[in-house]
Amino acid sequence: MNTTNPSADLTTFTKLAATVLIFILMGCTHPNQRDLYSKVWSGRVDGAIEFHVATRPEARYLLLVPPDYAPTKKYELWITLHGIAGASEDALCEWYWYAKQRQVILLAPQGVHQIRNRKTPHLAYWEYDKDPQAIVQVIDEVCENYHVEGNKLVVFGTSAGAELAMSLVSRIPERTAFLGLYGYGWSKELSVATFTDIDNLRRHAPNIALFLGRGLNDEKFKNDGTATADALRSIGFRVKAVAWPGLEHDDRDFRDETLRYWDAVRGHPQKEPSWTFDLAGKWRAKFVDKIKADGVCHDDPGPSAEARSATLPKFDDKTWQEVPVPMWRTKWVGDWSGDRWSGDTVMRKDVSVPNRLGGRDLIVNLGLVESLDYTYFNGVEVGRTTTDDPYWLWKPRTYAIPGKLVRPGRNVLSVRFFDRCGGGGITHAGPGELRVSAQ
């Protein structure tokens, strides 16, 4: 669809919203991700529609609208600006999953940047500085044709897209409610000269909540972001800055914490659990069934009898290797390292439950698991994610544990995961997110 005609009426947009999922996640699935990105642009994926900017026809944007969009209802408008590398494309897909769950409108501007030696089209970083008004025009078009709540924007930026997001918000601070920046920060202290109209920004910055997230192992920015956070506070932003030990530039373990901050800012704080058991740290793991990673992605046959028996509380795992969690299996030492194997792996962790919670319902949060999982508590399955689940690759694994399985004292949590194409593991979870909890 081409939006060169600004008089497109609301009926047309409503029909679109009711019949398509724009930027459908068929274009954000594993393993042939690059090919599917290419199909999105060529129009060969059903339901994937790209829009064009009138003043800059080669610039595109992708739009997700809730399938039950109603013109009488107000919606939050989320804008996500990703970086240049493939991992940022993955981040874009993950924001799609969260937007679907929360029934918001998601706008993802796309540019024409081409990575060197990249032979296939891809979701491209928008080089905003080359046409700073084009992205504002995109926002105007969406706000004009959809019922956006208070015309207040929620903006997320990753890596190079984070600097782009900061530049965008500095131009329209009066229209911005929340800003999340990840893998972001100048190696030197932020200069107010970066912004177009610093006086206008100072007037509106106190009304903008800003989440600044970065990994302390960020190979692109060696500092911890303190100078950037202080500079943003000096302008007036309400900054929450979080630096995660062990995370690198392209690690993406911030979404849950970002949205908790946003919920609190808008007066809808998430209820904190009454008890938590931290699952981060050492687990025991064993490769139950190895499949040679030969460049082909394998279907999951389901847990083997050996894997199921390894989930039982009385199973002896003393000879199993201790491994760190969260972390990709390929970064574990020994026979795990590299992408030589796919297949069936079981991980176990003892969970100590206080006497007062025996028989109480619990919740387990595993963050992101690559690729598919069956999760057990004291040998009984409490949840699974398979390729039959929509958006399975980007789905945070959260499962309910029935109280009848919960004993005072020692309990055993087991995760059987199957990595289809190499890699695998409990790979991503922000601080405090990997846990068993009780409300």
The residue from 199, 234, 265 where one domain ends is 265
Residue 171 lies in a domain: yes
Residues 224 and 305 in one domain: no
Question: Closest Cα to residue 25, out of 113, 123, 115, 127?
Answer: 123
CA 334, CA 283: separation in Å to the nearest integer?
15
The pLDDT of residue 46 is 32
CA 267, CA 304: separation in Å to the nearest integer?
47
325 φ, ψ (degrees, to nearest 5): -135, 135
The pLDDT of residue 61 is 75
Residues 141 and 47 in one domain: yes
The pLDDT of residue 7 is 36
Residues 83 and 220 in one domain: yes
Residues 150 and 72 in one domain: yes
Residues 315 and 408 in one domain: yes
Count of the separate structural domains present in the chain: 2
Residue 193 lies in a domain: yes
CATH at residue 113:
3.40.50.1820
Q: What is the DSSP string of 235-303?
A: HT-EEEEEEETT--TT----HHHHHHHHHHHTT-PPPPPSEEEE--EEEEEEEEEEEE--S-PPPP---
Residues 147 and 251 in one domain: yes
Question: Closest Cα to residue 65, out of 28, 29, 15?
Answer: 15
Residues 244 and 307 in one domain: no
Question: pLDDT (tens digit, 0 to 9) for every residue of the chain, 439 residues total?
Answer: 333 333 334 334 333 333 333 333 333 333 233 333 333 333 333 334 455 555 555 566 777 787 778 888 889 999 988 777 655 556 666 777 788 778 888 888 876 544 444 444 455 667 666 666 778 888 888 888 888 887 789 999 888 788 888 888 888 999 999 999 887 654 444 555 556 678 889 999 999 999 988 777 777 766 666 778 888 898 899 999 887 766 676 666 677 788 888 998 888 777 778 899 999 999 999 988 777 766 677 788 899 999 999 999 999 999 999 999 988 777 776 666 555 667 788 999 999 999 999 999 999 999 888 889 999 999 999 999 988 876 677 778 899 999 999 999 999 999 999 887 767 888 877 667 889 999 7
Segments forming the whole domain that contains residue 74: 10-265
Residue 246 lies in a domain: yes
Residues 97 and 240 in one domain: yes
CATH at residue 363:
2.60.120.260
The pLDDT of residue 4 is 37
Residues 227 and 354 in one domain: no
Tell me which residue has tokens 């970086």: 83
Residues 248 and 334 in one domain: no
Q: Encoding tokens for residue 45? A: 């994926």
